[in-house]
Amino acid sequence: MLIRGSDSAIDLPSILTEEEKWYFDLQGYLILRQVITADEINQMLRLGSHWLEQPDQAPPPLRVTVKEYGGVINPLPYGDRIFERTSLNEKVLRVVMGLMWNRPRLFNCALVQQKKEPVSAGEKEKLHRDTSGFDFPDGFRNPHNDYQAGNGQIYSNYINTAITLVDVPKENGFTCIPGTHKSEINFPDSLDIDNLWAPAETFELQAGDCLIFSPRLMHGARYWKMAYPRMVIFNRYQFSFYFNENCSLPLKDHADRISADQFELESIQRGKKEFARRILDKIKRGEKLC
Ligand SMILES: O=C(O)CCC(=O)C(=O)O
Ligand SMILES: [Fe+2]
C-alpha cells in the first residue's frame, strides 16, 4: 500500500478548464484579455513613465535602470499599491495557480520599457529559455524551469505573466516558438525565428491583455517598431513549496509599502496561502474574479 502525505498534489484538481490545460500543454502559453481596467492602465503608465524620466523621484526600494532604448523598474509593487493589481490579479492567478498546484510565489515583478531602436539590415532577434542562472544541458530538465503533464494533470514550476500597458501590433513584443516548452530535442543551430519548420509567433494585444507563458518556451522579444514605447509588466512566479529564487523578496524593511497579501505572495510557504484560499472559494461559489 502506498502511504502519501496529506499535502500531496495527486488528487488536487487543477482550476484550469480542460480547454486551458489542453491549450497550454500544446502551446506553452495562454492569453487572457483585459485583466486590468483603462483607469488602472493610465495610473500605471503615469507612474512608470515618471520614474523612468526622473529616477531620483522613485521611492527608495525601487531600482530604476535607464538605457538608451528603454528601461526597467524593479521591484515594482514597492513603488505603489496599484501595481499589486498585476501581481495579485485574480484572473491571472487562477491560471498561475492552476499550473503550480495552487501555491504560487512571486519572485520578480518589473516594468519594462522598450523603444524603437536602429537595427542593421539582416539583424535578427534571438530566442532563449530562462535558466534561472544555471544552464542545464539540452535534454535535461532544469528543476527551476520544468514543465510536466500527465494523468490529466499539469505542472509548471515557473510561469511568467506579461501584462501590456500599450497596444502591441503583430511582429512586435513577445515572440515564441509554440510547443517548445515540451521539447527534449537539442535546439538546432539552423533554427531561426522565421524558419519554415516552426516559425516564432507574435501576438496582437490590446493594453490590459495578459500573456501567460512557460519560460521553458524558446522565446524572446521582437524589435519594437512603434513610435510610442512598449510598456509591459512581467510577474514571475514559482512553485512556493520548493523554490526560493531571489530570496531578497519580500523586502522586510519595506514591508509597509505592500499589502499583507502581496507579502504572502512573495514569501516561500509550504501550505496554501490566504489569497489563494479566497480565490478558490470565489471559484467554488461561482463569483466573478477581478
Ligand atoms: O520582452 C519579452 O516579451 C520577453 C522577455 C523575456 O524574455 C522574459 O521576460 O523572460
Ligand atoms: Fe526570457
State the cell numbers at 91. Answer: 484572473
Fold type of domain 18-116+126-182+196-285 = Jelly Rolls (2.60.120)
Give the integer Cα–Cα distance in Å for 25 and 17: 12
108 lines ligand 1 (CB under 6 A): no
Tell whether the model's pLDDT for residue 55 goes beyond 90.
Answer: yes
What integer pLDDT is reported at residue 188 of this predicted model? 79
Å from CA of 233 to ligand 1 middle: 10
* pLDDT tens digits, one per residue of 217-226: 999 999 999 9
* pLDDT tens digits, one per residue of 277-286: 999 999 999 9
State the cell numbers at 223. Answer: 524589435
Closest CA to 75 of 114, 105, 83, 242: 83
Is the pLDDT higher at 122 or at 57? 57
Contact predicate 38/94, CB 8 Å: no
**What atom of ligand 1 comes closest to residue 234's alpha carbon?**
9
Listed range (36-45, 189-198, 259-268) with the worst mean pLDDT: 189-198
Coil/strand/helix, residue 221: strand
Phi, psi dihedral angles at 60 (to 5 degrees): -45, -45
What integer pLDDT is reported at residue 9 of this predicted model? 61
Q: Please state the rounded mean pLDDT for residues 57-73.
A: 97
Coil/strand/helix, residue 23: helix
Give the integer Cα–Cα distance in Å for 243 and 115: 33
Mean pLDDT score across all residues of the chain = 93
| The residue count for the chain | 290
71 lines ligand 1 (CB under 6 A): no
Contact predicate 290/91, CB 8 Å: yes
131-140, 208-217, 268-277, range with greatest mean pLDDT = 208-217
In this structure, the residue with its CA closest to atom 9 of ligand 1 is: 234
Q: List, in sequence order, every residue forming a beta bridge with 113; answer none if it has no partner.
A: 71, 231
* pLDDT tens digits, one per residue of 182-194: 988 877 777 778 8
In this structure, the residue with its CA closest to atom 6 of ligand 1 is: 220
Instruction: Report which secondary-structure segment, H or E, holds 71.
Output: strand 70-74
pLDDT band of residue 10 (cuts 50, 70, 90) is: low
74 lines ligand 1 (CB under 6 A): no
Give the integer Cα–Cα distance in Å for 248 and 76: 14
Is the pLDDT higher at 270 or at 19? 19
Q: DSSP label at 226?
A: S
Å from CA of 232 to ligand 1 middle: 10
Closest CA to 92 of 19, 187, 16, 26: 16
Q: Please state the rounded mean pLDDT for residues 111-137.
A: 91
Give the integer Cα–Cα distance in Å for 142 and 215: 11
Looking up cell 485583466 gives 35
160 lines ligand 1 (CB under 6 A): yes
pLDDT band of residue 195 (cuts 50, 70, 90) is: confident
- Residues, Cβ < 5 Å to ion ligand 2: 130
Give the integer Cα–Cα distance in Å for 176 and 215: 10
